[in-house]
């Protein structure tokens, strides 16, 4: 039988979250932060209304643990990134030892913490390239860094073999869909940002009957203070956002501070509303978003940031709008939005496609959506959608 110690991150902060996913009952919080900082409210218990374990609490505890440990693995690889750790996939996008290692680790932890005959994981990476002769050294590095991360944490006594790593990665091949529960994982979202030393996220969500019911975003390079520059900027970096349906969104530091409740910006004035978009121009049409922002009277320049760290930053009000308009033919993947979507909606925001429809995560590994994705607060959404419609019409008529 495995020896386990309690979930290591902020496990003392919740009355309703189990110390391990299996143990169930919580314990009295004894490590609470007092006072308020900026617009984030501290909370004695994020889910205080619930005195006993409620739906998805075990899953959320396991997800927080998995994403936090995966973040440690990524930080370790990023500090010592070797050229040989970076490969190119068949679609020419980059993948690193950390993408594979993070996926193996999250898959392993979820299966250990939540034993189930029906484990289903929809995740970005697969082991195809690692099973070829040229993948042998990469697989050795992945196995090494996963085992080092597990050993340093100390929760599990297992050592994983290369075969175990391949199997853990390949358990992410599920097609998802509208029935049952499916974990959705982007082991590193924003791999290009990761390689540049900029923003990236470990993004883990859970679908139940086609709906996102919880999400965790680990953002190792995101400052704890608002990037809008209104707060003390000496708080350090490394944020963990988490949200459970109906329970709000919380943020804590990756090294385990007490969670604070976060909310999206309440601004009703488009002139004050700064907006986020992809760092990579290839991922979103910057000229189109610039035309939309102009119609809205947005004064600030766009904040270009990699990955779902944008959803995290938006959930705590660092900016008010996120726009994403991929170039023609690109199909969005569910792991690029599932966790971010619930983190923003539970913080009071709205996420829709360009025609105002909610995102539908029940259609398999892809999202079938109209043109693009927009995110903002409830007040600004009608104005944003009107500006989007007008700019898209102008784009068509100029062709
Ligand atoms: N052509 C194209 N168009 C739109 N989106 C694409 C495209 N190619 C890739 N991707 C996906 O973008 C994910 C990275 O997120 P962002 O675009 O938000 O950040 S960034 O611009 O890469 O910095 C990135 O996620 P990761 O592969 O996990 O890094 C991709 O899934
Ligand atoms: Mg991604
Ligand atoms: Mg990825
Ligand atoms: Mg990728």
One domain, residues 369 and 278: yes
One domain, residues 178 and 62: yes
Last residue of a domain, one of 218, 238, 262: 262
Report how far residue 241's alpha carbon sits from residue 68's, in angstroms, rounded to the nearest whole number. 10
Report how far residue 281's alpha carbon sits from residue 128's, in angstroms, rounded to the nearest whole number. 29
One domain, residues 294 and 363: yes
Query: Quick one: which ligand is closest to 98's CA?
Result: 3
pLDDT in tens, 96-139: 999 999 999 999 999 999 988 899 999 999 999 999 999 999 99
Report how far residue 220's alpha carbon sits from residue 238's, in angstroms, rounded to the nearest whole number. 4
Query: Quick one: which ligand is closest to 99's CA?
Result: 3
The residue written with tokens 């218990």 in the block is 45
pLDDT in tens, 226-253: 998 766 667 899 999 999 999 999 999 9
The stretch 143-158 carries a mean pLDDT of: 96
Contacts 24+ apart (CB under 8 A), 162-166: 164/108, 165/100, 165/104, 165/139, 166/127, 166/130, 166/131, 166/139
Range of the domain at 104: 41-262
Last residue of a domain, one of 262, 279, 303: 262
In a domain, 148, yes or no: yes
One domain, residues 212 and 279: no
Question: Residue 70 pLDDT > 60, yes or no?
Answer: yes
Pocket probe for ligand 1: among 283, 310, 312, 333, the residue whose CB has the most ligand atoms within 8 Å is 283
Using alpha carbons, list the distances in angstroms from residue 279 to 70, 97, 303: 23, 22, 8
Q: To which H or E segment does residue 249 belong? A: strand 249-253
ipTM: 0.95
pLDDT at 231: 63
The ligand 1 atom at the shortest distance from the C-alpha of residue 277 is 18
The stretch 72-80 carries a mean pLDDT of: 91
pLDDT at 35: 29
In a domain, 25, yes or no: no
pLDDT in tens, 355-378: 999 999 999 999 988 789 999 999
165 is in an annotated binding site: no
Domain tally, the chain: 2
In a domain, 257, yes or no: yes
pLDDT in tens, 241-287: 999 999 999 999 999 899 999 999 999 999 999 999 999 999 999 99
171: Cβ contacts below 8 Å, ≥ 6 apart: 107, 111, 119, 121
One domain, residues 84 and 225: yes
In a domain, 49, yes or no: yes
Ligand 1 centroid distance, CA of 333 (Å): 10
Cβ 61 vs Cβ 16: under 8 Å: no
Mean pLDDT check: name the lowest of 27-31, 73-77, 204-208, 367-371: 27-31
In a domain, 226, yes or no: yes
pLDDT at 29: 29
One domain, residues 345 and 242: no
Cβ 26 vs Cβ 15: under 8 Å: yes
One domain, residues 250 and 293: no
The ligand 1 atom at the shortest distance from the C-alpha of residue 94 is 27
One domain, residues 241 and 188: yes
One domain, residues 247 and 99: yes
In a domain, 22, yes or no: no
Residue 53: pLDDT band with limits 50, 70, 90: low
In a domain, 10, yes or no: no
Give the residue whose CA is nearest to atom 19 of ligand 1. Answer: 306
pLDDT in tens, 194-216: 998 999 999 999 999 999 999 99
What are the structure tokens assigned to 46, written together?
Answer: 């994020």
Residues with CB under 5 A from ligand 4 (ion): 93, 191
Question: Residue 37 pLDDT > 50, yes or no?
Answer: no
One domain, residues 164 and 233: yes
One domain, residues 287 and 251: no
Residue 44: pLDDT band with limits 50, 70, 90: very low
Model pTM score: 0.87
The ligand 1 atom at the shortest distance from the C-alpha of residue 308 is 18
One domain, residues 310 and 373: yes
Last residue of a domain, one of 216, 242, 262: 262
In a domain, 34, yes or no: no
């Amino acid at each position: 039988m495995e020896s386990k110690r309690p979930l290591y991150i902020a496990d003392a902060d919740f009355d309703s979250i189990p110390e391990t996913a299996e143990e169930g009952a919580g314990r009295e919080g004894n490590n609470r932060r007092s006072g308020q900082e900026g617009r984030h409210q501290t909370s004695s218990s994020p889910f205080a209304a619930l005195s006993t374990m409620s739906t998805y609490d075990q899953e959320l505890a396991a997800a927080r643990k998995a994403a936090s440990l995966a973040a440690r693995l990524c930080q370790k690889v990023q500090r010592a990134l070797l050229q040989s750790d970076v490969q190119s996939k068949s679609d020419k996008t980059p993948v690193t030892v950390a993408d594979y290692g993070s996926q193996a680790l999250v898959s392993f932890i979820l299966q250990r913490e939540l034993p189930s005959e029906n484990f289903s994981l929809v995740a970005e990476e697969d082991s195809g390239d690692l099973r070829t002769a040229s993948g042998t050294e990469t697989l050795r590095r992945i196995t090494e860094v996963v085992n080092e991360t597990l050993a340093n944490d100390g929760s599990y006594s297992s050592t994983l073999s290369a075969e175990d790593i391949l199997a853990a990665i390949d358990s992410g091949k599920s097609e998802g869909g509208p029935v049952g529960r499916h974990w959705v994982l982007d082991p590193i979202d924003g791999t290009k940002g990761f390689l540049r030393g900029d923003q990236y996220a470990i993004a883990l969500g859970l679908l139940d009957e086609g709906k996102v019911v919880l999400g965790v975003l680990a953002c190792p390079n995101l400052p704890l203070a608002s990037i809008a520059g209104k707060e003390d900027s000496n708080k350090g970096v490394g944020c963990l956002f988490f949200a459970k349906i109906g329970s709000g969104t919380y943020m804590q530091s990756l090294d385990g501070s007490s969670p604070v409740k976060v909310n999206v910006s309440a601004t009703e004035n488009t002139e004050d509303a700064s907006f986020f978009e992809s760092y990579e121009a290839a991922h979103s049409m910057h000229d189109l978003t610039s035309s939309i922002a102009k119609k809205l009277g947005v004064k600030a320049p766009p904040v270009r940031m990699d990955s779902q760290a944008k959803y995290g930053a938006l959930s705590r009000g660092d900016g008010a709008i996120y726009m994403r308009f991929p170039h023609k033919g690109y199909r969005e993947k569910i792991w690029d939005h599932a966790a971010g979507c619930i983190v923003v909606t539970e913080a009071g925001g709205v996420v829709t496609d360009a025609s105002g429809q909610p995102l539908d995560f029940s259609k398999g590994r892809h999202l079938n959506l109209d043109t693009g994705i927009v995110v903002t607060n409830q007040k600004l959404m009608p104005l944003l959608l009107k500006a989007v419609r007008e700019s898209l019409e102008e784009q068509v008529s100029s062709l």
